């Protein structure tokens, strides 16, 4: 194992047990809960060991600075610590750990950056606790007003403001203005690099995507005594809608997933009174995405008429097509001799791309699986990612 791969493993092992579920082997690192707070403490400690002061932006995002935090013209790198339920180890933390190691690499190489370098840890990227993905970067950039974020609630009714220990600060244009560019390193989340000789790629774009809540209302009743003809069962409308989403996505070359559902009263022997399903939909083109969601909604309405149920659709979050800075992507691809590819996954980089030149590096994922304990990356590839990030940061800060 190379020296860098061994150093990666040593640092990685420090966080590997935090928030790991022994049963699934996946991670339960919801933002601002105990495991994520431990990761944030670990981050502060690592920054301190490197003599990097840490600032917080009033929204839950942390920044560790190599250089003067006030100087401006800083290069930002980093990612997030939070996970989806039973998520993989790499989605998020890889970008933060790699950034810390890239700082070490640059220092070992005797590089003194002309511009400050900041390592960021963004809060609630997955939206697994409060429902809105990239919450921290949306707040920082003003894409989501602070008043709306403050009242988002988790499954236990705890608001984001309560979890944060106060109302979020919201848009911080003066802080954002101190950054000249952002580079997020991330594990690749499909099979795009799995069968290629490349350990690292550069991102070209993020598909437009969003989350839509379908509420299906019916009549709760007894499972044993209610004649089949008399039922108004929202589960049927829900089930039909899931199948319709799958079919419509396939027809369009898009992606549609219903990965979360809630049922009331959620009893085996009761016809549900209400079913809520969350649709995650993504497509390469914005029109395809809009057409997909409209078609699924139309099908749901049609079916609800048949089932005697009601259906309402609520858009919970929407992220437009992100085309990363082409000049920067080309420059990094040439520097690293790396391929350039799009992704269907959302990232804080997608939010920041609307405000400053932004790029992403992807590290090969041999299983091609993500948002699952089976997510993977080898230590050797992670070391290649650190080396690539160090080169990029060296180039951008000097
Ligand atoms: C976040 O990882 C997303 O793409 O849903
Ligand atoms: Mn993710
Ligand atoms: Mn991620
Ligand atoms: Mn993501």
Report the pLDDT averaged over residues 225-247: 98
* pLDDT higher than 90, residue 1: no
* pLDDT higher than 90, residue 73: yes
Which atom of ligand 1 lies at the shortest distance from residue 345's CA? 4
- The string of pLDDT tens digits covering residues 15-25 is 999 999 999 99
pLDDT band at 130 (very low <50, low <70, confident <90, very high): very high
Q: Distance from the CA of 257 to the center of ligand 1, in angstroms?
A: 12
Report the pLDDT averaged over residues 132-150: 97
> Nearest 5°: phi and psi at 255?
-125, 130
* pLDDT higher than 80, residue 272: yes
Q: Which of 27, 316, 345, 372 to mutate to test the pocket of ligand 1 (most atoms within 8 A of CB)?
A: 345
Please tell us whether the domain made up of 209-319 is placed in CATH 3.30.70.360: yes
The interface pTM score, or ipTM, of the predicted complex is 0.91
Contacts of 203 (CB under 8 A, 6+ apart): 324, 329, 340, 341, 342, 343, 349, 359, 360, 361, 362
Contact 249, 292 (CB under 8 A): yes
The topology under which CATH files domain 3-207+321-397 is Aminopeptidase (3.40.630)
Q: Distance from the CA of 126 to the center of ligand 2, in angstroms?
A: 5
Among all bound ligands, the one having the nearest atom to the CA of 280 is: 1
Q: Which of 255, 257, 319, 346 to mutate to test the pocket of ligand 1 (most atoms within 8 A of CB)?
A: 346
* pLDDT higher than 90, residue 66: yes
* pLDDT higher than 90, residue 222: yes
* pLDDT higher than 90, residue 108: yes
- The string of pLDDT tens digits covering residues 330-381 is 999 999 999 999 999 999 999 999 999 999 999 999 999 999 999 999 999 9
Q: Distance from the CA of 360 to the center of ligand 2, in angstroms?
A: 14
Q: Does the beta carbon of 346 lie inside 6 Å of ligand 1? A: yes
Please state the domain extents for the chain.
Answer: 3-207+321-397, 209-319
One fold for 3-207+321-397 and 209-319: no
- The string of pLDDT tens digits covering residues 371-389 is 999 999 999 999 999 999 9
């Amino acid at each position: 194992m190379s020296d860098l791969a061994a150093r990666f493993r040593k640092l990685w092992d420090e966080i590997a047990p935090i928030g790991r579920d022994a049963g699934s082997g996946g991670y339960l690192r919801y933002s601002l809960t105990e495991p994520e707070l431990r990761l944030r403490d670990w981050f502060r400690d690592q920054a301190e060991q490197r003599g990097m002061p840490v600032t917080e932006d009033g929204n839950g995002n942390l920044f560790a600075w190599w250089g003067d935090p006030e100087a401006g013209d800083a290069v930002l790198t980093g990612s997030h610590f939070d996970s989806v339920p039973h998520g993989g180890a790499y989605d998020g933390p890889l970008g933060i750990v790699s950034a810390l190691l890239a700082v070490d690499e640059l220092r070992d190489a005797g590089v003194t950056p002309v511009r400050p370098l900041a390592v960021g840890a963004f809060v609630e990227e997955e939206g697994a606790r409060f429902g809105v993905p990239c919450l921290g970067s949306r707040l920082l950039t003003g894409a989501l007003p602070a008043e709306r974020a403050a009242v988002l609630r988790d499954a236990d009714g705890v608001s984001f403001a309560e979890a944060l220990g106060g109302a979020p600060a919201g848009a911080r244009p003066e802080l954002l203005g101190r950054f000249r560019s952002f580079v997020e390193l991330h594990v690749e989340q499909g099979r795009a690099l799995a069968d290629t000789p490349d350990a690292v790629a550069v991102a070209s774009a993020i598909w437009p995507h969003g989350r839509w809540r379908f509420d299906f209302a019916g009549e709760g009743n007894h499972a044993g005594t209610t004649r089949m003809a008399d039922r108004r069962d929202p589960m049927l409308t829900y089930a039909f809608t899931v199948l319709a989403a799958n079919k419509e996505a396939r027809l369009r070359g898009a992606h549609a997933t219903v990965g979360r559902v809630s049922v009331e009263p959620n009893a085996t022997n009761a016809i549900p009174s209400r079913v809520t399903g969350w649709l995650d939909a993504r497509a390469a083109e914005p029109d395809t995405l809009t057409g997909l969601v409209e078609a699924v909604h139309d099908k749901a309405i049609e079916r609800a008429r048949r089932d005697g149920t009601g259906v309402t659709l609520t858009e919970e979050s929407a992220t437009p097509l992100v085309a990363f800075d082409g000049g920067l992507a080309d420059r990094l691809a040439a520097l690293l001799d790396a391929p350039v590819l799009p992704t269907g996954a959302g990232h804080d980089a997608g939010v920041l791309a609307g405000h400053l030149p932004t790029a992403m590096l992807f590290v090969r994922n041999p299983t091609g699986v993500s948002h699952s304990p089976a997510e993977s990356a080898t230590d050797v590839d992670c070391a290649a990612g650190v080396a690539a990030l160090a080169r990029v940061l060296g180039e951008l800060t000097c």
